[in-house]
């Protein structure tokens, strides 16, 4: 075992064990469906785990290729609240992936304004209910992010926004997505100022679910020209695979009962984890269909887009391209889907639990 692994184990075994102990009973309580309102963008203080994920595909006059941006705010509650922020940029032109983060072990929540969601040490997330928009600010080492994201489209992940987590029997969380938020602002990367604009996929997830031994592959496919957005979860609980997904199209969310994932390559991170990358996805419109109605190839723009931390699980999350073929018309949840055609867009993929 490496010195880093020993140190990481020492730093994480107590807080993870304490968290697991505190959610032991709560994780088995049946969640009731919710009708998401603007107030659900703010913290749910009764939830022991909550995160706000923003993954953006952005353009800038300073680059020919798009930039990928990830900004994530985490809130984890044991005896006290802790908050974490991660920022990562995939710079395709320079073939460089940069990331950093900050952990605040004790968070004393306060509001500097009525729109504040989280704020600490120059990092903030705010939501304006009048304009249905977020403002995001991050100040971390050589990173500076100041962007706004606006949009009202909402995709509930699971009926009533309840997503089975499958890490432990009965585990579930609330999970809602805004897949196409119009975004603009500025990123400062290694002292270079980059004005940016584009679209952001935002996930908000909260609940009392287990995090130890949590392993999943998460795919968000974005076909902006057609207004089609696909979320796929590929869970692996000790060798038992569970899959869930949704397609959002023109205001309608349609559930995916079955899909298959095959990786064509691997990425070995410097800290040890080996991640499957370069995926072929086969999506079926029913559980007993013999032929997929959609086949998608998801290819990373950079092979090494792994984030490592001494106090959180290492994970791979990065910008990808996606090309999909719709082989035939399909009905999903009784709704007609597209006729045969080719779709091209971008994707973000997250792989966690591979340490």
Q: Quick: pLDDT tens for 93-107.
A: 999 999 999 999 999
117, pLDDT greater than 60: yes
pLDDT band per the 50, 70, 90 thresholds, residue 148: very high
pLDDT for the residue 15: 79
Domain residue spans in the chain? 3-26+34-352
Number of residues in the chain: 355
- CA-based nearest residue to 256, from 227, 214, 206, 292: 292
Structure confidence by residue, pLDDT tens digits, 64-100: 999 999 999 999 999 899 999 999 999 999 999 999 9
Structure confidence by residue, pLDDT tens digits, 183-228: 999 999 989 999 999 999 999 999 998 877 778 999 999 999 999 9
- Sequence-separated (6 or more) residues with CB below 8 Å from residue 218: 231, 232, 233, 234, 349, 350, 351, 352
165, pLDDT greater than 90: no
Between 1.25.40.10, 2.40.370.10, 3.20.20.70, 1.10.10.10, what CATH number should domain 3-26+34-352 receive? Answer: 2.40.370.10
Structure confidence by residue, pLDDT tens digits, 318-336: 999 999 999 888 877 777 7
pLDDT for the residue 321: 98
Separation CA 346–CA 66 (nearest Å): 10
58, pLDDT greater than 80: yes
pLDDT top residue among 121 and 355:
121
Give the Å distances, CA to CA, from 236 to 50, 100, 172, 215, 353.
21, 27, 15, 6, 9
Lowest mean pLDDT among 23-32, 124-133, 148-157: 23-32
Please, are residues 347 and 312 in contact by the beta-carbon 8 Å criterion?
no
pLDDT for the residue 85: 96
Output the CA torsion 155→176→234→98 (10° steps).
110
Mean pLDDT, the chain, rounded, equals 91
pTM (whole model) above 0.85: yes
Structure confidence by residue, pLDDT tens digits, 259-277: 999 999 999 998 888 999 9
Number of Cα atoms under 13 Å in the Cβ half of residue 39 = 4
Give the whole-number percent of the chain exceeding pLDDT 90.
Answer: 68
The helix/strand/coil state of 178 is: strand
What kind and span of H or E run contains 20?
helix 3-23
Give the whole-number percent of the chain exceeding pLDDT 70.
Answer: 98
pLDDT band per the 50, 70, 90 thresholds, residue 294: very high
pLDDT for the residue 262: 96
- Sequence-separated (6 or more) residues with CB below 8 Å from residue 196: 56, 58, 59, 60, 67, 69, 147, 183, 184, 185, 186, 187
Structure confidence by residue, pLDDT tens digits, 332-348: 777 777 777 899 999 99
Residue with tokens 């992936």: 97
List residues bridging with 72 in a β-sheet: 53, 86
């Amino acid at each position: 075992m490496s010195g880093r692994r020993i140190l990481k184990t020492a730093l994480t075994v107590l807080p993870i064990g304490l968290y697991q102990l505190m959610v032991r009973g709560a994780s088995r309580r049946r969640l009731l469906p919710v009708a998401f309102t603007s107030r659900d963008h703010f913290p749910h203080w009764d939830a022991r785990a909550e995160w706000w994920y923003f993954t953006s595909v952005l353009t800038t006059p300073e680059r020919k290729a798009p930039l990928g941006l990830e900004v994530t705010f985490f809130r984890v509650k044991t005896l006290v609240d802790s908050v974490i922020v991660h920022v990562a940029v995939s710079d395709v032109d320079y073939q460089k992936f940069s990331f950093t983060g900050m952990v605040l072990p004790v968070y004393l929540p306060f509001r500097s304004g009525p729109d504040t969601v989280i704020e600490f040490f120059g990092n903030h997330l705010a939501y304006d209910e009048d304009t249905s928009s977020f403002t995001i600010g991050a100040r971390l080492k050589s990173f500076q992010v100041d962007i706004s994201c606006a949009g009202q489209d909402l995709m509930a992940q699971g009926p009533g926004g309840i997503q089975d987590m499958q890490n432990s029997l009965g585990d579930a969380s609330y999970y809602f997505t805004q897949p196409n938020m119009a975004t603009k602002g500025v990123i400062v990367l290694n002292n270079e100022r980059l004005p940016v604009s584009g679209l952001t996929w935002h996930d908000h997830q909260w609940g009392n679910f287990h995090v130890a031994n949590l392993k999943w592959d998460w795919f968000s496919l974005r076909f902006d020209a057609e207004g089609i957005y696909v979320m796929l979860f590929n869970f692996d609980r000790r060798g038992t695979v569970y899959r869930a997904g949704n397609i959002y199209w023109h205001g309608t969310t349609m559930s995916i009962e079955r899909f298959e994932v095959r990786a064509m390559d691997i990425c070995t991170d410097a800290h040890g984890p080996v991640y499957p990358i370069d995926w072929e996805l086969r999506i079926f419109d029913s559980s007993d269909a013999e032929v997929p109605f959609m086949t998608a190839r998801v290819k990373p723009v950079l092979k090494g887009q792994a984030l490592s931390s001494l106090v959180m699980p290492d994970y791979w999350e990065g910008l990808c391209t996606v090309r999909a073929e719709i082989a035939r018309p399909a009905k999903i949840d009784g709704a007609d889907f597209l006729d045969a055609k080719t779709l091209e867009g971008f994707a973000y993929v997250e792989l966690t639990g591979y340490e």
